[in-house]
Amino acid sequence: MDPRPTVIVTGASRGVGAAVARWLGSQGVSVSLVARNQNALESTASEVRDLGGTAFVIAADVADPAACRNIVEKTIDRFQSLTGLVNNAGILTPMETVALAGTNDWRYNIEVNLLGPVYLSKAAIPALRQSHGRIINVSSGAAHHVIAAASAYCAAKAGLNQFSRVLAAEEPDLTVIALRPGVVDTQMQKLLRKLGPEKMPPEQADYYVNLKATGQLEPAAVPGRSVAWMALYAPRDWSGAFMSYDEPQVSEPALAVFGESHG
C-alpha cells in the first residue's frame, strides 16, 4: 500500500484545482487529477510530478454518477487507498435571469456544482471511513450573496454548504468542510467581466470589472494552498463548517507547511 496521502482533485485542469494539485505534489502526495480536458490534465500532471508528487489523470465529467464511481474505483485501484477528496469542479453558466435561462443549462449547472460532489462523496465514503479522511467542498460566497443572472450557481453553492453540514453529521469518521476560495483570478471571473455588462445590473457588473482593474483578485495559488492544507490537515472538530481560505487558522498553517512557492 502506498504510504503517502492520496487525494482526488476535481477541476484540476486549471485555476484553483490545478493549484491545489501542485501544492499537494510539492509534498509528495499521490493525486488523482479529474476534469474533462485530457490535454490540460496532462499538463497539470507533469507539473505535479516535477514537484515530487505522483499524478494519475482521469478525464471525466463529474455530472455523470457512473463516472464519479469510476473515478474513486480507479484511484483506489491505482494507489490502494484514499485519504482526501477535493470537490472543486464548477461552472458559472448559465449567465442569464431565471426567466430566460435554458432549463437544460440550469440543470447541468446543478449537476456539476452540487450533484457531482454528492456522487463523488457517496462513492468515496467507504474508503474515507477507513482512512479517517477529508472531503473539502470548494464553495463560494455566492452561497449567501445574490448574484443576478447566476441563480443556478448561487443555488448550487448554497446546497453544497448544507450538504457538507449534513454529511459531516452523518459521518463521524470523516472531516467534511465547505471552503470559500475568495475572488480568484480565473476563467470564471473573466466570464463575469465579459457577460456581466449585458446580463447584470450595472452596479454589479461594475463590481467584477473593478475587482480586476484594482488588483483585488487573488492568484489561484493562494486559495489553492489553503485547500491543499485542508485536504491533508483540517482538524476533525472543524467538520461541518463553512470556512474561508484567508481565515488565520487556515491560511497561517498552510503557509507554514507549504511556503510561498511550490519549490
Q: What is the pLDDT along the chain (263 residues), one digit of tens a residue?
A: 347 899 999 999 999 999 999 999 999 999 999 999 999 999 999 999 999 999 999 999 999 999 999 999 999 999 999 999 999 999 999 999 999 999 999 999 999 999 999 999 999 999 999 999 999 999 999 999 999 999 999 999 999 999 999 999 999 999 999 999 999 999 999 999 999 999 999 999 999 999 999 999 999 999 999 999 999 999 999 999 999 999 999 999 999 999 998 75
Instruction: Say how far apart CA 234 and CA 104 lie, in whole Å.
Output: 36
Predicted pLDDT at 173: 98
pTM exceeding 0.95: yes
Q: Are strands 84-87 and 54-59 parallel, antiparallel or unpaired?
A: unpaired
Residue range(s) defining the domain that contains residue 247: 6-183+220-258
Instruction: Say how far apart CA 43 and CA 205 lie, in whole Å.
Output: 33
- Amino acid found at 193: R
Predicted pLDDT at 1: 39
209 domain residue, yes or no: no
65 domain residue, yes or no: yes
Cell digits of residue 206: 461594475
Instruction: Say how far apart CA 213 and CA 41 lie, in whole Å.
Output: 30
How many distinct structural domains can be found in the chain?
1
In CATH, what number is assigned to the domain containing residue 101? 3.40.50.720
154 domain residue, yes or no: yes
Q: What are phi and psi of 83, to 5 degrees?
A: -115, -15
Strand order in the sheet with 134-138: 54-59, 30-35, 6-10, 84-87, 134-138, 175-180, 242-244
**Cis peptide bond upstream of 5, omega within 30:** no
Predicted pLDDT at 262: 73
Instruction: Say how far apart CA 158 and CA 141 lie, in whole Å.
Output: 9
Which residues are designated catalytic?
A: 153
147 domain residue, yes or no: yes
With 0-12 / 13-18 / 19 or more C-beta atoms within 10 angstroms meaning exposed / middle / buried, residue 140 is buried
Tell me the angle at which helices 221-233 and 248-258 cross, rounded to the nearest 10 degrees: 90
Cα of first residue to Cα of last residue in the chain, in angstroms, is 27
Is 175 in contact with 136 (CB distance < 8 Å)? no
Reported as type and span, the H/E element at residue 10 is strand 6-10
Is 165 in contact with 240 (CB distance < 8 Å)? yes
212 domain residue, yes or no: no
Residue 155 CA: distances (Å) to CA of 32, 145, 148, 162, 210? 28, 10, 12, 11, 25
Q: Which of 82, 148, 154, 91 is nearest to 121 (CA)?
A: 82
93 domain residue, yes or no: yes
Predicted pLDDT at 55: 98
108 domain residue, yes or no: yes
Torsion angle defined by CA atoms of residues 237, 244, 227 and 72, in that order, rounded to the nearest 10 degrees = 70
- Amino acid found at 87: N
